[in-house]
Structure 1
């Protein structure tokens, strides 16, 4: 679980509540059932109208996705691809078929390696894998945009709730002493709309995009690695090629991860201490 998402949401909400109470407000004044119904009910209704039913049913999935850490890391992925490259160079491409159990739950890798084993042309494999990445990204974004839509609708629903409250207030001017509290209650709807959009809905969409960017990067690394395995490239060249996808900080993290997997062996980008496939053949 990605605790940063949960911590961020709780910290944001609690900060708003704490700041309000420190200014002299009371918690009870923040909870207005009618304002909640107008803002959140209206937002949910607008999202339902603007989103296809098949996509709506995937709301639990995309919510879990926002709170989940990516399944694969760059370091682990590169290590796996280098290991497959070693196997293919020593035993031939057909030997890769016996290694598919190691990533049986990874449909992308399974399909890619199977095409390599089947002798599919490299241009065809490249086209299929890149189309898969593109379609995956589009699909995930289309689901995540439910949160983006909610972030756009909720402030408007808050304004609608405030206007409705003010209409009610101005229609009952017989008690001037009640105007202040009534107007304050009316503006709670605006608070709900703006706060939910900027603390919950839009940040959730941004986190989904961040996780998706990492997933897409990992798939791009896998696609490049699969083609390199098919070409029988040297593992050192493969390593440098795949590390080119990463930022300097990501490279350092991948180096540490790969070093820990190899019992602490230092495998620098320049490859000085690193032992490539040829040393094991």
Structure 2
């Protein structure tokens, strides 16, 4: 049941595959599709896209949010593990001690819990907070986390919209300069301006679809996994508040995770069945 893990170890495998595929794509573009790879290197065009995208992002977002971009990229590159098995076992063990009404032992076990969400939820139970109030507080924390991480992913989606726009801006600059040079007949200068006009669009589309959008999707997937874990723990905390059997709690929570997996797996045969055309009789 290794769906989630806690510690980070090494690079995310899918991100590594994506980086290698991106390098392969650029190699094909530069070395196999062009007589001179230097034709695809245009520093003014790249500068227009990068500086324009950065400027628009700083205007659109507060400084503290923009400065988190590099940390978010690192979180995408590294493999994040959320160990649902450990958290569930910690919760079941604490519930077993709680059934024995040994509050001191529960507090000692709580100190060994690594999940702040689980630790706070169990602390509410120990403090005899009403179950509905516990659920309201935990749901508020889940909603706050979801909103925060959605905003982080949205930041990269906004940048993915800015990059092609500034690529088009560079294209317009190049075309304007090109029109001024047409009367002089300087083929070299005309070619340079045409390259600027085309390469900025190339850079904008490349950055948007190979960097910004994939990072946004990765962050959204990370949020989905965290939400599953937090909702599962919330259900377990509610069962602990009701003093349900620890064995029942373990099986219920494992069944909850297994049901999510089964629903995901069952979608594929169902989709295949819907897409299958009836054979002629």
- TM-score, scaled relative to structure 2: 0.81
| Structure 1 unaligned blocks of 5 or more | 252-281
The aligned residue for residue 101 of structure 1 is 111
Match of residue 254 from structure 1: none
Does the alignment pair 1:154 with 2:163? yes
Q: Which residue of 2 aligns with 1:242?
A: 253
Q: How does 1:166-177 map to 2 (within 5 A)?
A: 166-173=175-182, 174-175=184-185, 177=187
- C-alpha contact (below 8 Å) 1:9/1:199 kept by paired residues: no
Q: Distance in 2 between matches of 1:90 and 1:194?
A: 62
- Quote the Cα distance in structure 2 between the aligned partners of 1:249 and 1:127: 23
1:214 corresponds, among 222, 225, 237, to 225
Q: Quote the offset at 1:154 in angstroms.
A: 0.3
Of 25, 42, 63, the match for 1:32: 42
1:183 aligns with 2:197: no
Give the Cα separation in 1 of the matches to 2:135 and 2:185.
Answer: 74
Q: Is the 8 A contact 1:158 1:190 kept in 2?
A: yes
User: Which has the larger displacement, 149-158 or 24-33?
Assistant: 24-33
> Which residue of the other structure, out of 195, 210, 217, is the alignment partner of 2:206?
195
Q: Equivalent residues in 2 for 1:2-81 (5 A)?
A: 2-81=12-91
- Cα deviation for residue 243 of structure 1 reads 3.1
Match for residue 128 of structure 1 among 133, 137, 142 = 137
Take 1:43 and 1:52, find their aligned partners in 2: how far apart are those partners? 15
- CA drift at 1:127: 0.2
Q: Is the 8 A contact 1:122 1:227 kept in 2?
A: yes
* TM-aligned CA deviation for residue 43 of structure 1: 0.4
Greater RCO, 1 or 2 (C-alpha within 8 Å, sep 6+): 1
Residues 81 and 156 of structure 1: CA distance in aligned 2, closer, same or farther (over 3 Å) = same
The answer to whether residue 95 in structure 2 is matched with residue 85 in structure 1 is yes
How far did 1:74 drift?
2.7
Pair 145,46 (structure 1): closer, same or farther in 2 beyond 3 Å:
same
RMSD: 2.2
Q: Secondary structure at the match of 2:128?
A: coil
- Say whether residues 1:204 and 2:215 are aligned partners: yes
Structure 1 residues 96 and 25: alpha-carbon distance in aligned structure 2, compared to 1, 3 A threshold:
farther
Q: Contact between 1:96 and 1:113, CA under 8 Å: does it hold in 2?
A: no
Cα shift readout 1:62-118 (whole Å, capped 9, x = no counterpart): 223222333423333322222222222245455321111212x43212211111111
